Amino acid sequence: MLSLELFKLGEIIHGSEKEKKVLEILRQHFGGTLHQVRTKEWILSHFDFYANGKRVKASLLPYTSGYVKGKVGKNIKYYEMPPHPFMVKDLYDRAIKEGADAVIFYDQGKLRRIAVGTKIPAIFSSISLKNDDEIEINAESQLVDSISYNLEVEVIPGEDYIIVGAHVDHWLSGYHDNLFSLDIIENIKADLKHHGLKFVFFSSEEGPRCCNGSIQYDKKGTFVMISLDALFPSRVVFSATPDLFAFSKFFNLKRIEMPTPYSDHFPFVIEGFPALVLYNDDLIPWYHSDKDLPIEEDKQYLSQLVSSLNKLLRELDKVNKENLDAIFFNYAKQQGFDIKERRGSIIPNGLTSTFKRLQ
């Protein structure tokens, strides 16, 4: 399986030589064309963490660096892992406002990478700490300009295309986010009659928003975009533009929602294309951690998802842009929004999105 082979390479940081190696492996496997993107690479050149004089296993949070010595509860803030990973950034910002020199998180020994900023060092510790524990953090990292690629594979020619995409970069072990999605794409078999089909493997989804491969991808000719991201047994969140809600019937659902801004589908949404991401936030306990590992249930889940996606593709092949536009505008009207065009009509709203109300 592709995922297990690439899993052996370890962490794949956006914009790195290792990311480019993965994309070349995929090119050799699927064929296709590499398209250059401008991105950033996070280079972690040195990292040590000491607690009470003993070196402790830990992970540095992107994109922090610096040297700090002090005590927990004094100049160093210490937090247990919050309920949602995106709340880590909120705690980091609070610590800065309160004058902390560094921030330490603890999550039952798990190590995580969650992007927080650059102002003060932040880490996940593999051991729990208490007030007055003596701490030393020495971290050297930098975010530098880099060149990487999107890999575009034309599977079925057409005048317009259904795109199935997945990002190839990942933090730490990263099996379900996002190596597992590569196995799904590898097993898709759909004989489309009315639309073409492309597989696209994106660079730098985990990187700064400015540099995501999906933002730089040429979207001309897109009919529908489907992103596969952070899938975990045994259900999915169907996060989509409302013209696609009805197609959720093919999946074992956790919920249906308006498009989350956090995946490679959203640049397509912003530009007015029908788009969805399949993900599962049941992954949260292992998200961006060193414990996001293959599990026994993956095999059955893979089979289930491939079957569901093949059904979705066949049904999408029966409709056209006019059909989907009519559903989209009618749904917006029912929700009380007077939408004139698709492009720019959906905007981020926390973990999901909403229609933009006309001024």
pLDDT digits (tens, 9 = 90+) for 3-15: 999 999 999 999 9
Residue 135, both tokens: 């701490």
Say yes or no: do domains 2-40+146-355 and 46-142 share a fold. no
The predicted pLDDT at position 209 comes to 86
As a whole number of angstroms, the distance between CA 159 and CA 1 comes to 32
The predicted pLDDT at position 259 comes to 99
Q: Does the structure show a pLDDT above 60 at 134? A: yes
What is the percentage of the chain residues whose pLDDT exceeds 90? 98
The predicted pLDDT at position 118 comes to 96
The predicted pLDDT at position 156 comes to 98
Task: Please state whether the predicted TM-score (pTM) of the whole model is above 0.75.
Answer: yes
End-to-end, the C-alpha distance of the chain in Å comes to 51
As a whole number of angstroms, the distance between CA 268 and CA 309 comes to 19
Helix, strand, coil shares of the chain as percentages rounded to 5?
A: 30, 35, 40
Q: Does the structure show a pLDDT above 80 at 359? A: no
The predicted pLDDT at position 358 comes to 66
Confidence of residue 160 (pLDDT cuts 50, 70, 90): very high
Name the average pLDDT for the chain: 98
pLDDT digits (tens, 9 = 90+) for 161-209: 999 999 999 999 999 999 999 999 999 998 999 999 999 999 999 999 8
As a whole number of angstroms, the distance between CA 285 and CA 294 comes to 14
Give 122's contacts (C-beta < 8 A, 6+ positions apart): 60, 61, 64, 92, 102, 103, 104, 105, 116
Angle, CA of 186, 37 and 154, to the nearest 5°: 35
* Assigned CATH topology for domain 46-142: Glucose Oxidase; domain 1 (3.50.30)
The predicted pLDDT at position 91 comes to 99
Domain ranges of the chain: 2-40+146-355, 46-142
Asked, as a colleague might, if the bond just before 301 is cis with ω within 30 of 0, I would say no
- Rounded mean pLDDT of 296-314? 99
pLDDT digits (tens, 9 = 90+) for 15-25: 999 999 999 99
Which superfamily does CATH assign the domain made up of 2-40+146-355 to? Answer: Zn peptidases (3.40.630.10)
The predicted pLDDT at position 12 comes to 99
pLDDT digits (tens, 9 = 90+) for 249-272: 999 999 999 999 999 999 999 999
pLDDT digits (tens, 9 = 90+) for 59-81: 999 999 999 999 999 999 999 99
Asked, as a colleague might, if the bond just before 234 is cis with ω within 30 of 0, I would say yes
The predicted pLDDT at position 263 comes to 96
E runs forming strands in the chain: 33-51, 54-55, 58-60, 66-71, 76-80, 102-106, 122-125, 134-156, 161-167, 196-202, 222-228, 236-240, 253-257, 275-279, 346-349, 352-355
Confidence of residue 220 (pLDDT cuts 50, 70, 90): very high
